[in-house]
Amino acid sequence: MNHIAPGRNAGVYSYDDIDRRFVAERVEQFRAQVERRLSGELTEEEFKPLRLMNGLYLQLHAYMLRIAVPYGVLTSRQLRKLAEIGRKYDKGYGHFTTRQNLQFNWIKLEDTPAILHELAEVDMHALQTSGNCVRNVTTDQFVGAARDEVVDGRVYAEILRQWTTLHPEFTFLPRKFKIAIMGSDADRAAIRIHDVGVFAKRNERGEVGFTFYVGGGLGRSPFVGKLVRDWVPEEDFVAYLEAILRVYNQYGRRDNIYKARIKILVHELGQEKFTQEVEEEFARLRGPKYRLAPEIVDEIRRRFGGPAFETLTDEPESFQAAKAANPDFARWVAVNVLAHKVPGYAAATISLKPAGGIPGDATSEQMELVADLADAHSFGELRVSHAQNLVLAHVRQDELFTLWTALEANGLGTPNAGLIGDIIACPGLDYCALANARSIPLAQAISARFADPARQQAIGELGIKISGCINACGHHHVGAIGILGVDKKGEEFYQITVGGDPTLTTAIGDILGPAVTADETVDAIEAIVEVYLSNRHDGERFIDTLKRVGHGPFKERVYAAH
Amino acid sequence: MALNDKSRNEAVLKAITANRLRDGEVIFLAPGPDLGWVERLDDAALFEDATTAETVLAAAKAKAEGEQFAVDVYAFDLRVTDGQRVPVKTRERIRALGPTVRIDLGKQAAA
C-alpha cells in the first residue's frame, strides 16, 4: 500500500502493488500478442479485437493509440511521460479528446508494447479505451474543486474504474458503454448524452445517493438519457449499475451494430419496461456481494490524498491589483477562472483553442510547461476537460497572475473557455478513418473569424461543436450551434444545427436547413451570431434567445443568399 | 500530387493501397509482377480497367496478408491531369499526402 504525501500529486488516485502488477501483466500480454501478429501466428481478424482492447486503432496515416486518463485527472509526472512519448514515438504532439483521454496519431505497432511499458511506469494504460466494454468513466473537470460541488465524483468514478476493468461479464457487451458522473448542481460532464449518466447528490440527512439516467447517446440516433431512478443509496451504487448492465447484456441487440447501443434498447422497450427490468434484476442481486461498504468508499477516498490547502481569503490585494493593472489578465480571470470551494483558491482553465489553432492539440513542449505549472501552482495535479482543454484546479488566487503570465508567453493564455472560440471538434477526415469530412479546418476558420477576445466575451456563452461524421465524437448534436460534416458526391458539406444543450436540460439541436460548403458555414455562423445579438435581451444566452424567437430569423438570414 | 481535384474530365484510373502492418504507414502497390509496395502514390502502379485492378488486388491482398506485410488492402479511384495523380475522394487525397491541417507532417512533408 502506498501512502502519498499531501502536496505531491495530491488528489490523484494512488496505485498499489496489485494495480501495478495487473497493468504490467497486461503490457506483457499485449507484447506477446503483437509478436504473434507480426510473426503471422495471429491473423488481422484475430488480432484486431485484441489491439482495440488496448486502445490501438488503425487510422488514415498510421496507428492511433488512445491512452486512458481516468476521469480526466492526471499528475504532472504522468503528463511529462505523455510529452516524452509524444516526442519519442510520435511527432511531438498529442490530441486531448472529448472523453478526457489523449490520442497519439502516428504510432507504430511495433513500438506499442514499449509505449505501454513506459505508461505503466507512471501508472497509466490504454485499457478499455476501445472495444465493446465499459470505457473511461468521465466527470466534471472541476471535480474536488468547484464551489458548487455537492459530492466528489472522483471517488465513485474510481470505484467504477476498478469494478469495470476486465469485468468478465461486461467485457463483450453488445456495444461500447460510456458512463459519466457529476456531483455538482451544474452539469459539466454532459451526463444525459451518455449510456449511463449518474448525478451524485445528498439527501436531507447528508447521505450520498445517485440519480441514474440511462440510454442517452449521440451518433446516428441521438437520444437524451431517461430517468430510471431518482435515488440509489451509496451502498447500492455498484449493484444498480450491475443490474443496468445485465439487462443491457441480456437484451441489447448484437445483430445490428446501428441498433446495439443501450439507447436503442431503452427506446424500444420503453422507459417504464426498461426500468422494471432493471429493478427486478436489482432486487435479485442486491445483497452483501454487491454492497458498497462505507469502508471501501473511505479507503478509495483516502487513496486520493488531498491538497494541503492553506487558510486564505478570497480576492487578496495582489490579485485585485494585478487585475486592475492588466485588462488582459482580468479578462482571462473573468472567462477562464472558476470559484474554488476553498477560499483564496481558484480553478483555471488552460485553453487548447488558440484562434486558428487545432482544438485539443498540445505539443510535448506545452505538456511539459503545463506539468511544470501544475507543480508550481496546483499540487502537481491537473485535469483534461471533455471540452478538450486542460485545467489546473487548485491555484492560489495570488498566484494566478504568475500562472497567466507563463501561459500567455507560451500561447496557452487564450481567454475563451465556454465562449464561441472554445470549439469542440473531432479529428475529422484529417486523421480519422470513419470521417466523411474535415472538422479541424472549419474549427480553425471559425475561431480565427471570432479571434477578438472582446467580441467573444460580448457574445457570451455559445458552444460550437463539430463532428466529421454521424458518429458525433464532436458532440455536434448538443452544441448551441452544431456542425456535422457530410460527404455529397465526394465533396465536403456541413449541416448546421441550433439549440443543442449538453447540460441537465439536455436538448438535441434542430437542423437549420440544407448543408452548405465550408466557406459558407463560417459565414453562416457569423450570420447566426448577428441575428442573436440583434434579438437578445439583456443577459440572455444564445439558446434562450433562440427558444424565444424561434428558428425563423436565423434560417432566413443564413439562407438569404440561396 | 495535388490536393485539389480539378480534373473532372480525365479518365478514372485505379491504384491499390494499404497500411503497412508493422508501422501503419500508407503504402501503394508498386508496378511489376512482384506485387511489392512503395510509400508514394507517384510511384504506384495504375490500372486503366477495373477488372485488371480487381484481379491484381486479390493477388496483392493474398500475398501481403500471407507475408504479414500489409493490412486493409483496397483499390481506389484517381485521375491523372497535368502529370499529377489526384485521388477522386478527399479521404484518399489526405491519405496520400497527410493531414491538411499539418502540412509539416505525412508524405507531403517530405515532398
- Residues 6 or more apart from A374 whose CB is under 8 A from it? A75, A76, A79, A380, A381, A382, A392
Give the pLDDT score at B111.
62
| Interface touch B105/A106, C-beta < 8 Å | yes
- Closest CB to A38 among B22, B95, B98: B22
Confidence of residue A148 (pLDDT cuts 50, 70, 90): very high
**CA-CA distance, A450 to A444, in Å (whole number)?**
10
Looking at beta carbons, which residues of chain B come within 8 Å of A60?
26, 91, 94-95
Whether residue A58 lies within 8 A of chain B, CB to CB, comes out as yes
| Interface touch B24/A107, C-beta < 8 Å | yes
Q: Note which residues in 471-500 of chain A have CB less than 8 A from chain B.
A: 487, 490-492
Whether residue A429 lies within 8 A of chain B, CB to CB, comes out as yes
Whether residue A61 lies within 8 A of chain B, CB to CB, comes out as yes
Q: Note which residues in 39-68 of chain B have CB less than 8 A from chain A.
A: 65-68
The x, y and z cell numbers of residue A71, run together, are: 476521469
For A177-204, write each residue's pLDDT tens digit. Answer: 999 999 998 899 999 999 999 999 999 9
Give the pLDDT score at A345.
98
Quickly list DSSP for A158-187: HHHHHHHTT-TTSSS-SS-B-EEEE-BSS-
For A318-355, write each residue's pLDDT tens digit. Answer: 999 999 999 999 999 999 999 999 999 999 999 999 99
Confidence of residue A313 (pLDDT cuts 50, 70, 90): very high
Looking at beta carbons, which residues of chain A come within 8 Å of B5?
490
Give the pLDDT score at A3.
37
Give the pLDDT score at B2.
46
CATH entry 3.90.480.20 includes domain A317-409: yes
The x, y and z cell numbers of residue A399, run together, are: 498566484
Give the pLDDT score at A48.
96
Q: Residue A284: is its pLDDT beyond 80?
A: yes
3-state secondary structure of A402: helix
Confidence of residue A6 (pLDDT cuts 50, 70, 90): very low
What is the fold, at CATH topology level, of the domain defined by A17-121?
Answer: Sulfite Reductase Hemoprotein; domain 2 (3.90.480)
Q: Residue A473: is its pLDDT beyond 60?
A: yes
**CA-CA distance, A129 to A52, in Å (whole number)?**
8
Q: Residue A155: is its pLDDT beyond 70?
A: yes
Looking at beta carbons, which residues of chain A come within 8 Å of B94?
60, 429-430
- Closest CB to A429 among B26, B66, B90: B90
- Closest CB to B71 among A39, A44, A110: A44
Q: Residue A94: is its pLDDT beyond 80?
A: yes
Give the type of residue at A418: G
Q: Residue A462: is its pLDDT beyond 70?
A: yes
Give the pLDDT score at A540.
95
Give the pLDDT score at A176.
95
For A77-89, what is the mean pLDDT? 98
Whether residue A21 lies within 8 A of chain B, CB to CB, comes out as no
Q: How far is the alpha carbon of B76 from chain A, nearest alpha carbon, in Å?
A: 13
Confidence of residue A499 (pLDDT cuts 50, 70, 90): very high
For A30-68, write each residue's pLDDT tens digit. Answer: 999 999 999 999 999 999 999 999 999 999 999 999 999
Q: Where are the domains of chain A?
A: 17-121, 138-303, 317-409, 424-558
Give the pLDDT score at A504.
87
CA A155 distance to own-chain centroid: 17
Quickly list DSSP for A499-544: --B-STT-BPPEE-SS-B-HHHHHHHHHHHHHHHHHHPPTT--HHH
Q: Residue A7: is its pLDDT beyond 50?
A: no
For A92-110, what is the mean pLDDT? 97
Contact A189, A217 (CB under 8 A): no
CA A152 distance to own-chain centroid: 17
Confidence of residue A490 (pLDDT cuts 50, 70, 90): confident
Q: Where are the domains of chain B?
A: 13-110
Domain made up of A138-303: CATH architecture? 2-Layer Sandwich (3.30)
CATH homologous superfamily for the domain A424-558: Sulfite Reductase Hemoprotein, domain 1 (3.30.413.10)
Q: Residue A478: is its pLDDT beyond 50?
A: yes
Q: How far is the alpha carbon of A492 from chain B, nearest alpha carbon, in Å?
A: 8
Confidence of residue B8 (pLDDT cuts 50, 70, 90): low
Looking at beta carbons, which residues of chain A come within 8 Å of B90?
429, 437-438, 487, 490-492
From residue A522, how far is each of A444, A489, A558, B89, B100 by CA, in Å? Answer: 10, 21, 10, 23, 18
Fold matches, A138-303 and A317-409:
no
Confidence of residue A306 (pLDDT cuts 50, 70, 90): confident
For B13-69, write each residue's pLDDT tens digit. Answer: 999 999 999 999 999 999 999 999 999 999 999 999 999 999 999 999 999 999 999
